A and B are shown apart, each in its own frame.
Chain A
Amino acid sequence: MTARAGAMPGRRAARNTLALAAVVLLVALLCALSVAIGTRDVGWDDIAAALAGRAETIGQAASAARLPRTALAFLAGAALGLSGALLQGVTRNPLADPGILGINMGAALAVVVGVAWFSITSAQAYIWAAILGAGLTAVFVYVIGSLGRGGATPLKLALAGAATSVAFASLVIAVVLPRGDIAGGIQSWQVGGVGGATFVRLAPVLPFLATGFAISLLWARKLNALALGDDLAAGLGENVARTRAIAGLGAILLCGATTAVCGPIGFVGLVVPHFCRLLVGTDHRWLLPFSALAGAGLLLASDILGRILARPGELDVGIVTAFVGAPFFIWIVRRQRLREL
């Protein structure tokens, strides 16, 4: 891809910059709301004090406890949104999503196996296990889904992913069942949530996310070439297989690391890139950063919604995104002219 091909009309760029500013503002607002809203109402002065590092009153302490949670929701949402955009770009498939393709369940199985059989305990080991599981599952589902006539059609990929999910869910239970000590923790982890986050627990995942973000943003231009189709991209001098492998690796790092910390959170990676395509078009250099921001926004909003809906308790964010995302998934399926198998 040359610079000329990537140049876009000035008006488009101006519009996109405006949209970017709006999304940044929205996400900032959501971050503030996420610190402010919860079981206990706190005033803005308490929040300011908590941000300054004080936790003297109960309100300040509550706000201080909500800070790492907000940070985690932001990071996890950004990672999931970005990995969804990457997966959709790599597979050229509108339905690609870490949840639908079974990648989250692969990560979950790897973590469960690691805990039960190799007695891993450190956060680092959890993350490595999750990434390994996510990677193997992604390759597995993609290979299975692209066998046969017509390559990796949306239907074949989705079916391969769904079937793999069911199989892995059984295996998770088979591993967990004889070990009552870990069953409860794993059961609640499987819903997917950002509650109970602390900065200490957050730290180990940061290098993985940073690597994933870096890869995806550096590779955005190459994904544009991929969108033209394999033959054309190869004709433009792109190494298609390498682009696909590296962008896929970025996506797996992001969703694997997120799954290790939050549990499997579905549908964010599916919804966000579609929404962003409506906003900024299909240029991945805009689409990827937008997807990250909008993903963060969606997860923050879902988390806040979960806290408002179930007061004084809270809904895990995984169930909120599922109920927001599934109707959207159905809408995409209805809108698209999907090829018959």
Chain B
Amino acid sequence: MAITTTTLATIAAARHRRGRRRRAILAGLVLLIAGMLALTLMLGQSFTPPGQVIRVLAGQEVPGASFTVRQLRLPRAVLSVLAGFCFGMGGVAFQIMLRNPLASPDIIGISSGASAAAVFAIVVLGISGPAVPILAVAAGLGVALAIYGLSFRGGVAGTRLILIGIGVAAMLHSFIAYTLSRAPAWDLQQALRWLTGSVNGAQLGQALPLLAVLALAGGVLLSRSRDLEALRMGEDTAAALGVRVGPTRTLVIACAVGMIAVATAITGPISFVAFLSGPIAARIMGSGGSLLLPSALVGAALVLVGDYCGQFLMPGRYPVGVVTGALGAPYLIYLIVRVNRAGGSL
């Protein structure tokens, strides 16, 4: 009896410690994002003192600062954060569900589907504005559905889903490359947005669809985080724990695809953010606890930092996707090596 009590006490203490650690790390991530936001708003080609930034944000007209902060820096920063949230959370949901960190939406073709639809809409159909994200979401969902349906053969095996996704992604990539190379008034910046992702020319209005999808799909995902955690231990274990695997899977796919597709339609498929956020979050959080929120925060931090580096810290100006892609490459190598050694879990 005495032993049981001490064991329980130890477990409770450990859980308490973990909870505290988790909150501390989350707070740290939020601080990092806030810091990056402040930096983005204050320091660009020119320096705007914090007092002026606050006055502009409060709605006052400050000569020399209003335009830069309100029209250029604020939309960019807001869009970076929101898109980062979407990529981070959508990506990690896939990685947890398929139990393979390499099975992120940017590798198995979901982002490519959204991207291909956007390119097709802009270049071939010549449409722009709100119809483009809608089309991209539809295409992202369509591709996800197609991959899911094609890999269905008496149940969906994760392996089959990933491999079919890779095949579909390869096909879509060649379609995107071809459509862009044939665009009549071929614009490199526009093209690069759809190949690597960028927040150039951001407008505050574009944040609305992102906010909506975050509230809707993100909310559903967060409310299902327990089921997702159970799925992380394998389908059989999850079923034994009382999770209805099929419906949960469908719901998670729908939400994650929605987030990824909306973000892709607005910023382009920012390379590797969906792919890197989850593993990075897993590394800094340690074991236990849902990865959805930490991963979303890491995603936002990645996009903010990547965009800032691409804008100001490099020779020439690069879109954020090029920076995250290049930064992601070495981490990817490390990750593949480590994951393969461990046998595939996040």
Binding site for B on A (CB under 8 A): 95, 99-100, 144-145, 147-149, 154-156, 158-160, 162-164, 166-171, 173-174, 177-178, 180, 183-184, 187-188, 190-192, 266-267, 315-316, 318-319, 322-323, 325-326, 329-330, 333-334, 338-341
Contacts and interface: CB of A to CB of B under 8 A. Distances in A.
B126 to A, nearest CB: 18
B329 A170 contact: yes
B166 A162 contact: yes
B151 interface: yes
A147 B272 contact: no
Contacts of A174: 318, 322, 325-326
Given A166-B272, A183-B188, A144 B163 contact: no
B157 A340 contact: yes
Given A155-B162, A170-B328, A330-B167, A191 B322 contact: no
Nearest to B166: A162
A326 B171 contact: yes
A128 to B, nearest CB: 23
B188 A322 contact: no
Nearest to B330: A167
A66 B156 CA distance: 47
B233 interface: no
A338 B329 contact: no
B341 interface: yes
B73 to A, nearest CB: 22
Given A169-B173, A177-B188, A334-B153, 4 more contacts: A148-B340, A159-B107, A174-B326, A340-B157
Interface in B30-59: none
A334 B151 contact: yes
Nearest to B168: A326
A288 to B, nearest CB: 24
B180 interface: yes
B266 to A, nearest CB: 19
16 contacts: A100-B166, A144-B333, A147-B337, A148-B339, A166-B275, A168-B329, A170-B321, A170-B329, A174-B325, A183-B188, A319-B175, A322-B170, A334-B160, A338-B157, A340-B157, A341-B159
Given A159-B162, A174-B325, A187-B180, A100 B336 contact: no
Contacts of A169: 173, 195-196, 271, 325
Contacts of A168: 329
A195 B332 CA distance: 36
B316 interface: yes
Given A174-B326, A341-B343, A155 B195 contact: no
A100 B165 CA distance: 12
B150 A330 contact: yes
B107 A156 contact: no
B177 interface: yes
A191 B177 contact: yes
B110 to A, nearest CB: 13
B168 A170 contact: no
A148 B343 CA distance: 6
Contacts of A166: 106-107, 271-272, 275, 325
| A interface majority secondary structure | helix
A100 B170 contact: yes
A173 B159 contact: no
Interface in B122-166: 150-151, 153, 157-160, 162-164, 166
B331 to A, nearest CB: 10
| B interface majority secondary structure | helix
Contacts of B106: 166
Interface residues of B, number: 58
B169 interface: yes
B325 A190 contact: no
B314 to A, nearest CB: 9
B297 interface: no
Contacts of B181: 187-188, 190-191, 316
Contacts of A183: 188
A162 B169 contact: yes
Contact of B191 (A187, A192, A330): A187
Interface string B75-110: 000000000000000000000000010110011000
A79 to B, nearest CB: 19
B3 interface: no
A210 to B, nearest CB: 29
Nearest to B174: A322
A140 to B, nearest CB: 8
Contacts of A173: 192, 195-196, 321-322, 325
Contacts of B178: 191, 315-316, 318-319
B185 interface: no
Contacts of A158: 162-163, 166
Given A187-B180, A340-B157, A162 B332 contact: no
A316 B182 CA distance: 10
Contacts of B159: 155, 338-341
A164 B160 CA distance: 20
Contact of B164 (A160, A267, A330, A340): A330
B171 A323 contact: yes
A319 B171 CA distance: 8
Contacts of A167: 272, 325, 328-329, 332
A166 B270 CA distance: 11
Given A144-B340, A162-B166, A340 B180 contact: no
B286 interface: no
Q: Tell me which of A99, A174, A183 has the highest count of chain B C-beta atoms within 10 A of its own C-beta.
A: A174
A341 B344 CA distance: 7
Contacts of A155: 159, 162-163
Nearest to A315: B178
B346 to A, nearest CB: 13
B342 interface: yes
